[in-house]
Structure 1
């Protein structure tokens, strides 16, 4: 299993009139966590695209437990419980506030797509090389 965390502060522009984080922003928080995870693994997403592979979102799930508010420092925990296989990768997320209270859980299923054909493709070797050590049994 692979696990990583990223912290971010809620900006005023990310809140609604009630002062809560607008629900649609959680997808953006998930994206920040994914991008940083790849960067920490030594994979720049633009490098992946340069090889002709993109990773669109196939499915997004999001469950709101408690509200995040303006100026909260959030920790977004990203979990990969399964090694990427076939043409897909499943990311799970947990969002916590500074007190460690769980605010949100979610997941995204991403699919590796060949940019020329627009068709799903196998998990790139670069991804396997960087992640295999986390999934040895």
Structure 2
């Protein structure tokens, strides 16, 4: 399986809640950005997939919150694949702050579907060819 892809994002003031920490509902957005950038690092864009008639809806999301992140922290999102994609692709994530404290661990499952019929399809060969296992 391939190494972890690391993407960094700085927390913004508008993402904090009344307690001054990053609101729990923001983390799925961070995970999405990390997934999109992981694909982009392989030379694949979501936009291109959609133009090819391929969609990738999230069908499962699980997050374990370990420690709060706060405004203006630089977070590192480590993204990896759990297994070789089939009609689904499972991402594992670990998000760390600048002190390397684990903020969250998470996973998402997405399914490759045909844009018109919304029926599952196999992971495209050109994606499999870019993933090291």
TM-score normalized by the length of structure 2: 0.97
Instruction: Name the CA distance, whole Å, in 2 between partners of 1:54 and 1:5.
Output: 24
Aligned to 1:4: 5
Pairwise CA RMSD: 0.7
Structure 1 gap segments, 5+ residues each: none
Instruction: Name the CA distance, whole Å, in 2 between partners of 1:13 and 1:44.
Output: 27
Structure 2 gap segments, 5+ residues each: none
Aligned to 1:65: 66
Instruction: Name the CA distance, whole Å, in 1 between partners of 2:27 and 2:106.
Output: 9
Aligned to 1:31: 32
Size of the alignment, in residue pairs? Answer: 132
Instruction: Name the CA distance, whole Å, in 2 between partners of 1:49 and 1:62.
Output: 27
Aligned to 2:113: 113
* Regions of 4+ moved over 3 Å: none
TM-score normalized by the length of structure 1: 0.94
Aligned to 2:102: 102
